[in-house]
Amino acid sequence: MDTAFDFDRYDHIRPILWTGQALELLDQRKLPFAVEHVACHESDAVAQAIRELTVRGAPAIGIAAAWGVVLAGRAVEAADGAGALQQLEPALQRLNAARPTAVNLAWALARMRRVLATAGADWKQLLEREAQAIADEDLAANRRMGALGAALVAPGSGVLTHCNTGSLATAGFGTALGVIRAGMAEGRIARVYAGETRPWLQGARLTVWELQQDGIDATLIADSAAAHLMKTGAVQWVVVGADRICANGDTANKIGTYQLAIAARHHGVKFMVAAPSSTVDLDTADGEAIEIEQRDPGELYGVGGVRTVAEGIAAWNPVFDVTPATLIDAIVTEKGVVERPDTAKMRALFGG
């Protein structure tokens, strides 16, 4: 694809590294003050890393899980892929259970199962090749959707993003941050704002740090300041990622996304979802059918390990919410753009 900019200029971080013997994951719980890697030598360690948010972001979770299958295969002896699959199924199920909402996890594991089902004696090599393909395809998809999404943004625009959707959450370049990177490189985006994203502070800890590494200035705001920011006219687009996009365009993403979409519609701000086509789940009709992951309420009781809430207080801690398609102006994937999505438009682009 011809582009007017150098992708590598704004893309220096890689959170997932396969060494040939182990999977090394950049520990995103410790950023931005410590850049450390966790080495996973077995599939259960990968599942634990996914569950504990050592690695996070829907595409990155899928890539990590695929390498987790490769690691599980190291301990299996089988004459062919079908025999290996039978032995590997418990490990696959443990990986799948690590995070229930992000469809990329199940999608990547399904790809690994398909390879095993038809593989011969070289099934271990084919597994490794498939995991690498999943990572390579994600990077290419991100660069493609970055260009497509940036093309929708008028020059001089301000954008607001939520959570972390960049290189840290993918194989590289990012989804929503890929759009922002491409928009910055093309001179379309003049201002970038990032919400802090409570309770794990992915925006405050990860997004602004990641953009800083690439020389992109970003302004951090409290999540509760977003509507006021829109009212000032500083923002023309909200650009977010997704963990699951339904057949009708309803989108599950990090908690807080739904209220951004509501505020954006009220203020005449456009709302864009950028995600790879692997995030599209045509088998889920609408957002009502999405399982919303609940995490430990204790995550709301403090900040940075310091408790700020009195003992005996109840807390409710959903990790995701669902933005209805009616509040979304554009869904951007590497396969193309769906503007004002509905079931017919989604099926026209993604099949089914």
Task: Look at residue 194 and give its three-state secondary structure.
Answer: strand
Grade residue 13 by pLDDT with cuts at 50, 70 and 90.
confident
Look at the chain and report how many structural domains it folds into. Answer: 2
In sequence order, what DSSP letters do the residues of 178-239 get, joined into one string? Answer: HHHHHHHHTT-EEEEEEE--TTTTHIIIIIHHHHHHTT---EEE-GGGHHHHHHHT--SEEE
245 part of a folded domain: yes
**What Å distances lie between residue 141 and 70, 146, 228, 324, CA to CA?**
23, 8, 34, 24
Grade residue 2 by pLDDT with cuts at 50, 70 and 90.
very low
**Residues 338, 219 within the same domain:** yes
CATH number (domain holding residue 271):
3.40.50.10470
Cα separation, 23 vs 53, whole angstroms = 15
Identify the domain boundary among 94, 113, 141: 141
Cα of 159 vs its chain's centroid, Å: 18
**Residues 199, 322 within the same domain:** yes
244 part of a folded domain: yes
Grade residue 57 by pLDDT with cuts at 50, 70 and 90.
confident
**Residues 161, 127 within the same domain:** no
**Span 313-337, mean pLDDT?**
97
Mean pLDDT of the chain: 94
Which ranges of 74-213 would DSSP assign to H, the alpha helix?
A: 81-96, 103-118, 123-150, 176-185, 202, 208-213
Identify the domain boundary among 141, 165, 182: 141
Identify the domain boundary among 141, 176, 211: 141
pLDDT over 90, % of the chain:
88
CATH number (domain holding residue 95):
1.20.120.420
State the angle between helix axes of 81-96 and 43-51 in degrees (0 to 180), rounded to the nearest 10. 30
Token pair for residue 254? 């990090």
Residue 70: domain span? 7-141
Q: H/E element holding 237?
A: strand 237-240
1 part of a folded domain: no
**Residues 103, 211 within the same domain:** no
Q: Is 44 a catalytic residue?
A: no
240 part of a folded domain: yes
Burial grade of 233 (CB within 10 A; 0-12, 13-18, 19 or more): exposed
Per-residue pLDDT, 228: 98
**Residues 38, 67 within the same domain:** yes
2 part of a folded domain: no
**Span 10-23, mean pLDDT?**
89
For the whole model, what pTM was predicted?
A: 0.88
Grade residue 352 by pLDDT with cuts at 50, 70 and 90.
low
Find out whether 193 and 221 touch, Cβ atoms under 8 Å: yes
Cα separation, 189 vs 194, whole angstroms = 14
Q: pLDDT (tens digit, 9 = 90+) per residue, 27-47?
A: 999 999 999 999 999 999 999
Q: pLDDT (tens digit, 9 = 90+) per residue, 96-149?
A: 999 877 688 999 999 999 999 999 999 999 999 999 999 999 999 999 999 999
345 part of a folded domain: yes
Phi, psi at 40, each rounded to 5° = -105, 125
Find out whether 192 and 183 touch, Cβ atoms under 8 Å: no
Catalytic residue among 27, 214, 243, 321: 243
Per-residue pLDDT, 100: 77
Cα separation, 139 vs 144, whole angstroms = 9
119 part of a folded domain: yes
300 part of a folded domain: yes
Per-residue pLDDT, 274: 97
